[in-house]
Amino acid sequence: MGEVGANQNEGWFKTVTIEPGIVFRYLPESKWKTLSINVFCQVPVVEDRLTSLALVPRLARRGTESLPTLQAMSRFLEEMYGAGIGADARKVGPIQVIRFGIDIPSPEYLDAVIFGKPDGSIVSKALSFIWDVATRPYLENGAYSRDTFDVERNDHRRDIIGMINNRPSYAAVRLVEELSRGDPRGLPAWGSLDGLDSVDPKTTWEIWKETLSHCPISIYAVGEGACEVGEILSKNGLEFPCGRADHIWDIGKELAPPALPQDVLRVEDCLSGAQTILCMAFYTGIREGDPRLPALLFCDGILGGFPHSKLFSVVREKESLAYFADTSPNTWRGLIMAIAGISDEDRSRVEDLIVQQVEAVRRGEISQQEMDNTRIGLIRRLRTESDSQSSLVRRLLTHEIFGGAPTEEEIVRVF
Amino acid sequence: MKVTKQDIVDVASQAELKAVYALRRRVMMLLLNRLTTLKDDLLNEEIHGAIIDGITVFVLPKKASAENMQKSLLTTALTTMLLYPTVHRPRSMFRLVSLIFWSTRCLKSHGARHFRHLQV
């Protein structure tokens, strides 16, 4: 493989720097029957741009310069042996990550006798297609098509409202938002309903063009054929709508979390629903990249990560006060977040009980059975990740942004 | 080095409660939406209100005259009942409409501050 820049191993993946700010990471494993290629654009959160950028993946899926309609794109994907594309906006800690991905059958399994001889390399076609989706969308007069834009904006609005309907996940998002009050990095990846009213097709394209010029880009390929992706990238390079800027955004500056309040912050919202969701944040100071991260994950597992954990067994099973009760770590902020679905009248009782469970762990009231079950549960959970291409890529992307363990095996080793 | 019980105790010892967020249960907030939609047509004034659980009504009128308030609230209540008959039981709606008549009388005689929170 003709490589540009430094080549190094990170976990199982090999890393090649294509040009400053653009890295290619690949894992040519044969255990999957598909080749998964993902392009991640890492963007520091700016409140004015967040919602526009959240719309970009939706608009990108509607057509490219060479395949301007959904029908043309679908036909192309069918010709690629039923390839599937995905594009979304998500957050990794404080960074907004815009993803464009394509999954194709591994070239190894495409028998020319059965499937017919492909017209050119399928890997090359897939790569140039997904790059077109990211950088060369269908435009009219230098802007996204107004009709498409309006449809996607309305769908996005409906999706945001739909996310609000998933009360537990919405409560967790709102808690982080409140803890980051005044700091846009705490806003959710999908932007805001208010922000949707002010976006327009031209500005959105301008923002995306500028973002493409400045943002760090990571390209991941997992599966057989991954090496070929690297060869194509090295040979042909990448084209951008406005070229690449000399100064690439340094996302490392964005990682320090906003200061937490001195006292306990108390916030209430009211929404329709069948139960009250109580969400509590405990600050531990242990973040992604900290050598004590495995201990944090273990502590989270003892408290509420599993059905044998204290929150589930005490708050739900023993006291019958919750429909669900669990915890999850927020490794950007160094938090353990407890969440419980309860009757509104039990709020203060459940709050006290959750605090009591943390105090019990603090006093060392952890049985050997709890230790063993948590260890088994964590190892199983982490190892399951390695069976999925997307989970592997997600872990390495998190490592790329925050540092710390690049593979789940490095964490498993200390459990 | 394997994670030990002491490591977990150390993490828990550092854990400090920083925030409590409650997403509280509310069955209905439709009236608020209806009011927002209707306020421009009917009142040209600023009104905020919400019906919650079909039991409690919060009304925070600002500047609106009692007659306009009543007209708006009634229209809203009836529209809501027609649009969402399964959510609003007739008895609740009857009590709501009664409240609206009563509360607008309160508004006339005492001003807005006296009926910010009323039980139906």
A245 or A162, greater pLDDT: A245
Is B66 exposed, middle or buried (CB count within 10 Å of its CB: 0-12, 13-18, 19+)? middle
Q: B71 CA to chain A: closest CA distance, Å? A: 26
A260 at B interface, C-beta within 8 A: yes
User: Is B19's CB within 8 Å of A298's CB?
Assistant: no
Closest residue in A to B19 (Cα) is A265
- B/e letters for A360-370, b = 16+ CB within 10 Å, e = fewer, are bbbeeebeeeb
Return per-residue pLDDT of chain B as tens, 120 residues.
Answer: 789 999 999 999 999 999 999 998 654 444 445 444 544 444 444 444 444 334 334 344 445 555 666 666 666 565 555 544 444 455 555 666 666 666 556 555 554 444 444 333
Closest residue in A to B13 (Cα) is A362
Closest residue in A to B26 (Cα) is A272
Query: Best of B2, B3, B88 to disrupt the A interface by mutation (most A CBs within 10 Å)?
Result: B3
Say what the pLDDT of residue A406 is: 78
Counting DSSP H helices and E strands in chain B, the numbers are: 4, 4
From chain B, the residues in CB contact with A366 under 8 A are 5, 8-9
B28 at A interface, C-beta within 8 A: yes
Nearest to A211 by CA among A239, A242, A188: A242
Is B79 exposed, middle or buried (CB count within 10 Å of its CB: 0-12, 13-18, 19+)? middle
Q: Give the containing element (helix H, strand E) for A179.
A: helix A167-179
User: Is B20's CB within 8 Å of A279's CB?
Assistant: yes
Say what the pLDDT of residue B35 is: 47
Closest residue in B to A275 (Cα) is B25
Taking only the tens place, the pLDDT of each residue in A106-146 is 888 876 666 666 556 889 999 999 999 999 999 999 999 99
User: Is A277's CB within 8 Å of B13's CB?
Assistant: no
Query: Best of A167, A277, A282, A330 to disrupt the B interface by mutation (most B CBs within 10 Å)?
Result: A282
Q: B109 CA to chain A: closest CA distance, Å? A: 31
Q: B35 CA to chain A: closest CA distance, Å? A: 17
Q: What ipTM describes this predicted complex?
A: 0.86
A355 at B interface, C-beta within 8 A: yes
Average pLDDT, chain A: 91
B27 at A interface, C-beta within 8 A: yes
